[in-house]
Amino acid sequence: MHFKAPVIFGVLLTVSAHTAPYGLTSRGKQLLSPPEPEPIEVIELPLPPVTAKETEGGCTLSVNPHGTGCIGVTTFETLSGNFLPDGDHVTVSLVFTGAPAAPDPSSIYTGLNLIIVRTNGTLFPNGDAWKCITLSPSIQRRYSRSCGKSYRRRGVPPIIDTLTTGAISSIRNNGRRRFFEQWIFDREVAPYLEDSGYYQGQKLNGAGDGNPGSVNDPLWNGGADPRWSLDGTKIAYFELLVQPPDCGGVNPLPCPTSTAPGGRNVRVMLATLTSRKPLPVVAMDPVSDTVPWGEPYVPGGAGPKDPSLPFGNYTLAGQVSGHADVIFTPDSAGTTFKTVEATYHNYSDDGLNFITGNEEVTAIYPNATLIHIDWYSDLSSTGISNSTKVTGPGGFHFEVDVQLNKFYANGTLTTTVDGVVYKQPENGC
């Protein structure tokens, strides 16, 4: 996917900032001024060695002298997980490949497994910085692809998101390439101050030089679900490098050369917040297996019916000023939303941005994975920022398959924020 202008995606490492103006309180606390950037050290954690030959016997002792397994060059199953309580180990799930045939002792290093990686620079007694703790083919695969957010203008409530979320979340990926970056965000900071403007948090790996292989190399894209150490001083996350067919060939994005060991396309990173004092690790009280707000599952019984908003006309009042007239229109069968329309009248939730105009979206599903969107927008925002979100003549119409992540559009959807123009992705990328 090739963007004509910068598009921002991120994974926030705390909950988002309050959407209230400075001077208001939240949970009884005065909102704070933005903190000074803190020092952050980022390193790449070691993983098992890479074998270019992923068939049986490819993981030889010349590749891994310890005989403790190899991974492949293209290894999309590698995911970083939680810290152990000591803060000196991080779990990583990965797929061992190229193991020799039995009865070779190394034959057990095959398939999906869980390892722990030391984060303090020390080694296990056998000389590895990591240790496999499962060696079982029965481990369930768990993929996390739900984080991330699409870029949108401040102050607009997520009304049309009821129809666009699936399509937009599919655009955020370029096949295996993810448009994520890790940011630290202080939830007690005011979102806007007269002297400093918008608070945008701090990019976790912002201190790198941007060169190939550096900690902030823009061609390495963050995966979902970064994890904190229990003492609050470290963050572990993983990154992916774009691979064909999502680069090279007919794709306008050139394929980069991996600088990771063995040329692999996945790396696991550790960020240390060097100025922070470790938080005390508090023992957790036992938690009951009974969930008071949940509905018990009865084997063989029908599942609960999901609550849904009735079709019809609504008025959404702004928390500070104005309102929005909203219409939810069903499909011909009357079973789900087909069209959502919102008309804003000086709408504001924060007293900083005021929205005026109309937006309408219709969603059609030609098959189980393909989404067709018809989008018409003519919105403007005034206040501390002047912006517009406008579709071209005839509207903006696009399709995306949630499994293929290929974007095809007719028409334009253009967002302009204080003179900076943001356009949709190019077709077919």
Residue 297 structure tokens: 């599952």
The average confidence (pLDDT) of the chain is 84
Residue 404 structure tokens: 């293929």
Mean pLDDT of 14-30: 38
pTM, 2 dp: 0.70
Residue 154 structure tokens: 């401040």
Interval 205-254: pLDDT, tens:
998 888 999 999 988 888 888 999 999 999 999 999 888 877 888 877 78
Mean pLDDT of 254-267: 91
**pLDDT at residue 380, as a whole number:** 97
What span, in angstroms and rounded, lies between the C-alpha atoms of 315 and 168? 25
**pLDDT at residue 148, as a whole number:** 27
Residue 373 structure tokens: 């969107």
Q: Where are the domains of the chain?
A: 312-422
- Pick the more confident residue, 327 or 285: 327
**pLDDT at residue 202, as a whole number:** 93
Query: For residue 400, is pLDDT > 80?
Result: yes
Interval 300-333: pLDDT, tens:
888 887 778 899 999 999 999 999 999 999 999 9
Mean pLDDT of 189-199: 75
**pLDDT at residue 28, as a whole number:** 42
Query: For residue 80, is pLDDT > 50?
Result: yes
**pLDDT at residue 247, as a whole number:** 81
**pLDDT at residue 16, as a whole number:** 32
Lowest mean pLDDT among 29-38, 225-234, 305-314, 355-364: 29-38
- Pick the more confident residue, 200 or 215: 215
Residue 125 structure tokens: 């007694």
pLDDT band at 177 (very low <50, low <70, confident <90, very high): low
Query: For residue 21, is pLDDT > 80?
Result: no
Place of tokens 């008309």: 343
**pLDDT at residue 58, as a whole number:** 96
**pLDDT at residue 304, as a whole number:** 80
Task: Give the list of residues 6+ apart from residue 301 with CB closer than 8 angstroms, or none.
Answer: none
pLDDT band at 204 (very low <50, low <70, confident <90, very high): very high
pLDDT band at 17 (very low <50, low <70, confident <90, very high): very low
Query: For residue 136, is pLDDT > 60?
Result: no
Mean pLDDT of 324-346: 95
Q: For every residue of the chain, which 3-state class applies, written as one string? A: CCCCCCCCCCEECCCCCCCCCECEEECCEECECCCCCCCEEEEEECCCCECCCCCCCCCCCCCCCCCCCCECCCCCCCEEEEECCCCCEEEEEEEECCCCCCCCHHHHCCEEEEEEEECCCCCCCCCCCEEECCCCCCCCCCCCCCCCCCCCCCCCCCCCHHHHHHHHHHHCEECCEECCCEEECCCCECCEECCCEECCCEECCCCCCCCCCCCCCCCEEECCCCEECCCCCEEEEEEEECCCCCCCCCCCCCCCCCCCHHHCCEEEEEEEECCCCCCCCCCCCCCCCCCCCCCCCCCCCCCCCCCCCCCEEEEEECCCEEEEEEEEEECCCCCCEEEEEEEEEEEECCCCEEEEEEEEEEEECCCCCEEEEEEEEEEEEEECCCEEEEEEEEEEEEEEECCCCCEEEEEEEEEEECCEEECCCCCCC
Asked if residue 236 lies in contact with residue 268, where contact means CB atoms within 8 angstroms, the answer is yes
Lowest mean pLDDT among 102-111, 123-132, 198-207: 198-207
pLDDT band at 172 (very low <50, low <70, confident <90, very high): low
